[in-house]
């Protein structure tokens, strides 16, 4: 029986249950928080307590697992996540990788094959360590890989990161979630790159595909075997909920429910809005929170003709298949 690593250790894939495949707990710039937020709009204890409360509420709605692809670039900090995981029944699955739209961090610019320090690709070394040994000294192992191919496309930095992710996937078996821009339809670039590296496209989630209502684009991606991340429910400024529902219903009707996963790409706190966070959320994205799918989206999908079996595929079967790679 395959197991999947979570913040509290391995669980059987059959025990993942209903899973939201792309949620953050925090999305932060550590330097922003430390220099401009600490003691002002950032209250560590208050934020931890708030996250525990929000995740407990989500668990009470019947969701058993969230996948949190918060990596370097989004403020991954495992000790804080461990404190939270200890106090909620929800499984939290975490990732290795980099959140970068264009430029490689300087920390990888001088090390690597053919560079000043001619060593094996250090990103592969670091990602593999996260997966095989654990993140830092936390003991928590990453269970998936994350990178971005956004509107800027395959810049030299993005290309190198994505290839390091693909090669780590080939060496470890860990599946991939790639952030994409549906406006730029950059999912195609990601698929082509992963294919050129020999990656198993059935182990790739094209995150944020659900921002698109272009069925031709979405079917083209899914026809490669990749899974569509319909994972920004509540971010109505990118695509309103009724349109997202219509698109999923159309795809399910054409036989694609086995290649769709659901989520909000929400968080308990994101520092993009600084002290204006609560006002920004209330004003422009009132539905951008963890329980919009349970409360509103699933009823709307049923109403529009998506069957219970198809919902089960999107919430349970597809996540289980995605994480069925560690047979130990
Ligand atoms: Zn995200």
CA–centroid distance, residue 119 to ligand 1 (Å): 31
- pLDDT (tens digit per residue) in 251-292: 999 999 999 999 999 999 999 987 787 788 878 899 999 999
Q: What does the pLDDT read at residue 282?
A: 79
Q: What does the pLDDT read at residue 26?
A: 97
What is the rounded CA–CA span in Å between residue 70 and residue 76?
A: 5
What is the rounded CA–CA span in Å between residue 130 and residue 69?
A: 13
Q: What does the pLDDT read at residue 50?
A: 97
pLDDT in tens, the chain (328 residues): 799 999 999 999 999 999 999 999 999 999 999 999 999 999 999 999 999 999 999 999 999 999 999 999 999 999 999 999 999 999 999 999 999 999 999 999 999 999 999 999 999 999 999 999 999 999 999 999 999 999 999 999 999 999 999 999 999 999 999 999 999 999 999 999 999 999 999 999 999 999 999 999 999 999 999 999 999 999 999 999 999 999 999 999 999 999 999 999 999 999 998 778 778 887 889 999 999 999 999 999 999 999 999 999 999 999 999 999 764 4
Please, are residues 175 and 145 in contact by the beta-carbon 8 Å criterion? Answer: yes
Helices (H) and strands (E) in the chain, counts: 13, 12
CA–centroid distance, residue 114 to ligand 1 (Å): 32
CA–centroid distance, residue 272 to ligand 1 (Å): 13
pTM for the full model? 0.97
CA–centroid distance, residue 118 to ligand 1 (Å): 33
Q: Which residues are found with C-beta within 5 Å of the ion, ligand 1? A: 265
Q: What does the pLDDT read at residue 326?
A: 63
Q: What does the pLDDT read at residue 142?
A: 98
CA–centroid distance, residue 265 to ligand 1 (Å): 5
Give pairs for 34-42: CB < 8 Å, separation 24+.
Answer: 36/274, 37/271, 37/274, 40/275, 41/274, 41/275, 41/277, 42/271
- Provide the mean pLDDT of the chain: 96
CA–centroid distance, residue 224 to ligand 1 (Å): 23
Q: What does the pLDDT read at residue 328?
A: 43
Q: What does the pLDDT read at residue 278?
A: 78
């Amino acid at each position: 029986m395959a197991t999947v690593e979570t913040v509290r250790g391995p669980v059987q894939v059959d025990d993942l249950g209903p899973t939201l495949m792309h949620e953050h707990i925090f999305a932060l710039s550590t330097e922003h928080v430390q220099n401009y937020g600490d003691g002002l709009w950032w209250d560590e204890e208050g934020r931890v307590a708030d996250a525990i409360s929000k995740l407990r509420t989500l668990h009470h709605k019947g969701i058993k697992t969230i996948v949190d692809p918060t990596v370097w670039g989004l403020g991954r900090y495992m000790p804080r996540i461990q404190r939270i995981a200890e106090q909620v029944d929800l499984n939290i699955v975490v990732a290795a990788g980099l959140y970068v739209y264009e430029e490689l961090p300087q920390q990888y610019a001088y090390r690597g094959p053919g560079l000043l320090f001619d060593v094996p690709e250090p990103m592969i070394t670091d990602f593999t360590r996260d997966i095989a040994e654990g993140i830092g000294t936390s003991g928590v192992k990453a269970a998936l890989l994350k990178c971005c191919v956004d509107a800027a496309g395959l810049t030299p930095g993005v290309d190198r990161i994505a290839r390091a992710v693909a090669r780590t996937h080939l060496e470890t078996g860990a599946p991939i979630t790639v952030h994409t821009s549906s406006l730029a339809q950059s999912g195609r670039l990601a698929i082509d790159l992963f294919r050129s590296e020999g990656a198993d496209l059935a182990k790739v989630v094209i995150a944020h595909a659900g921002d698109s209502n272009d069925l031709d684009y979405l079917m083209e991606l899914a026809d490669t075997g990749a899974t569509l991340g319909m994972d920004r429910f509540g971010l109505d400024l990118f695509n309103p909920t009724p349109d997202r529902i219509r698109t999923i219903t159309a795809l399910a009707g054409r036989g694609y429910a086995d290649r769709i996963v659901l989520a909000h790409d929400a968080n308990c706190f994101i520092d993009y809005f600084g002290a204006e966070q609560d006002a920004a959320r209330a004003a422009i994205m009132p539905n951008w929170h963890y329980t919009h799918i349970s409360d509103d989206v699933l009823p709307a999908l049923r109403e529009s003709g998506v069957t219970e079996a198809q919902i089960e595929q999107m919430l349970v079967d597809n996540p289980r298949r995605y994480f069925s790679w560690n047979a130990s």
